[in-house]
Amino acid sequence: MGDTLDWYVDSIRNIDFQFAWVGVGIIHAVLSVITLLFLFTLATMIYRARPDSPENRFMSLMLFVEGIKTIVSWYAIYPFGPETLPYVQYWRVIYYTMCLLSILMYLSLSSFYPVKFLKFMSNDKIKRNLFWALPTLAVAIITLAIVSAGGVYETFDGSLHIECPEGSGEGDAIVTASYGENDYEGNCLEQHAPYDFITVEQSDLGRLLLMMPVLTAFVALGFMRRAQKSLVMDEDDEEAKQKSTEARALVVGFGGKTFFQGSMLFFMIYLTAVYGQFNSADLVEVEMNNRMKFYFYALYGFLFSALFAGLFEGTMFTYAILKNDVLGIDEKLRKTFSTAIFATFGAILLVIASELVESMLGGSGWVGGVVVGAPLVVLRKPIYSIINNFSNRLMPESFTASERTYLEAYEIACEDGAVTDEARKFLSLQAKTLGLDEKRIEYLENWYDEEQVKEEE
């Protein structure tokens, strides 16, 4: 237990954002598990809201898939030994299957938000069967690829465990491969030894499946934008208007995904053009040069962008599906989203400040944390207010049918300027009938009053 704790402390303490990145891998793995749990929670909420709805089933499955994809490097969370490599290989099959499934699901969104040239996808029979047909198709394609190639290694290449004992340096790494004998002569960073980690080799198919979900998200973004425009034109159709607002939320969700992951993907492509093709297995022969340093930037930039994209996408998709079904879900999502942004923003600033001070002064990284942390604490309210305004623009106020009915009754009760005792009794009865509690009633009435003040101004 003590050795494991020392490994965590030393790995995180040794982070230099140049060549010592094991600690960053630990942080990413922990955050990926948190993101997984968050997305699974949202997926469960969507499914339970309307379990018989094809749209809810589809969206629930999509968030489930996105959650699994976030834990791509779960094996960085603990100093696993070489005996873990077979499980890493099995995991890669699952991960690439999820990548393929997400591609199919992005393209199939047109079933629920029609695109002019894909209207056949709106067929009810197709909608009802997508949630099981697409996973079956993805599993079948990956299975066919593995069988045709002759195995998992032949399809996706292998996994590697690198161990750098105390005092090890160039050429001293002990490299164990999932496929047995290998020709790797691994290098170690002597000043950071001992340490060990797991990495993977990459095949052409693996690279393609890694990149394609991001590129397909751009296509899905275009589909949803077209669907939103076509739906908003039908102003007399209440269902079309509701679908339009859902499509808008999906546009924002895919917009966030393409921004976060797309920017990092294009950065990786740029580095490949400048320094040549990278492979995760290059970490075995780590050298202190710009080529390797920038590779780390691209690798972890892409991994963290997947977490941000997953959180953003999950929040917006849940808002799109549940805003008119679950009481107060939009308010809860806005609060969660704002808190996550503030916490992430603060954590990134603290880490950067600590590392900068550490590198400049040769220690005392905590000073940088205090320099950044103190203003964040003092200015948290105005900063949080700015973030809240941003959240409100992304996820406008939305009410369920029951809430809209109550607001209509409250509007009538306020026609004379004040709510009379008789009107209040009627509103209380209405709220009880609609299943609204006192806290929600207070929120609705305050919202209505604030809107009236804004209109008068």
71-82 pLDDT tens trace: 999 999 999 999
Whether the bond between 194 and the residue before it is cis, its omega within 30 degrees of 0, is yes
Tokens at 386, concatenated? 């700015």
Over range 368-384, report the average pLDDT.
68
What pLDDT is attached to residue 289?
Answer: 61
What pLDDT is attached to residue 208?
Answer: 93
Instruction: Answer whether 395's CB lies under 8 Å from 337's CB.
Output: yes
What pLDDT is attached to residue 242?
Answer: 73
Query: Which strands make up the sheet holding 174-177, listed edge to edge?
Result: 174-177, 159-164, 195-200
- What's the pLDDT tens digit per position in 116-134? 777 788 888 999 999 999 9
- What's the pLDDT tens digit per position in 199-219? 898 899 999 999 999 999 999
Residues 6+ apart with CB under 8 A from 204: none
pLDDT higher for 234 or 294?
Answer: 294
pLDDT band at 455 (very low <50, low <70, confident <90, very high): low
What pLDDT is attached to residue 155?
Answer: 94
Domain segments of the chain as ranges = 2-155+202-278+287-309, 399-456
Task: Out of 136-150, 282-296, 402-416, 436-450, pick the least confident.
Answer: 282-296
> Is the pLDDT assigned to residue 366 strictly greater than 60?
no
What pLDDT is attached to residue 48?
Answer: 86
- What's the pLDDT tens digit per position in 7-60? 888 888 777 777 778 888 999 999 999 999 999 998 998 888 888 889 889 999
What pLDDT is attached to residue 40?
Answer: 93
d(CA 59, CA 47): 8
pLDDT band at 399 (very low <50, low <70, confident <90, very high): low
d(CA 291, CA 398): 49
What pLDDT is attached to residue 370?
Answer: 64
> Is the pLDDT assigned to residue 61 strictly greater than 80?
yes
> Is the pLDDT assigned to residue 106 strictly greater than 70?
yes
What pLDDT is attached to residue 361?
Answer: 60
What pLDDT is attached to residue 37?
Answer: 93
d(CA 281, CA 299): 12
What pLDDT is attached to residue 65?
Answer: 96
Closest CA to 282 of 370, 157, 107: 157
| Other residues' Cβ atoms within 10 Å of the Cβ of residue 70 | 25
Averaged confidence pLDDT in the chain: 82
CA separation, residue 456 to residues 449, 451, 453 (Å):
11, 9, 5
pLDDT higher for 19 or 149?
Answer: 149
Closest CA to 59 of 121, 133, 116, 112: 112
Has domain 2-155+202-278+287-309 been given CATH number 1.20.1070? yes
pLDDT band at 415 (very low <50, low <70, confident <90, very high): confident
d(CA 294, CA 19): 10
Q: Is the pTM of this model over 0.95?
A: no
- What's the pLDDT tens digit per position in 286-308? 665 667 778 888 888 899 999 98
CA diameter of the chain? 86
DSSP 99-124: HHHHHHHHHHGGGTS--GGGGGGG-H
- What's the pLDDT tens digit per position in 82-98? 999 999 999 999 999 99
Residues 6+ apart with CB under 8 A from 55: 112, 127, 321
> Is the pLDDT assigned to residue 371 strictly greater than 70?
no
What pLDDT is attached to residue 156?
Answer: 93
Alpha-carbon torsion 249, 255, 258, 263, what sign? negative
Torsional class of 409: left (φ above 0), alpha (ψ -120 to 50), beta (otherwise): alpha
pLDDT band at 148 (very low <50, low <70, confident <90, very high): very high
The rounded percent of the chain whose pLDDT value lies above 90 is: 26
What pLDDT is attached to residue 30?
Answer: 92
Residues 6+ apart with CB under 8 A from 26: 8, 11, 12, 76, 77
What pLDDT is attached to residue 336?
Answer: 75
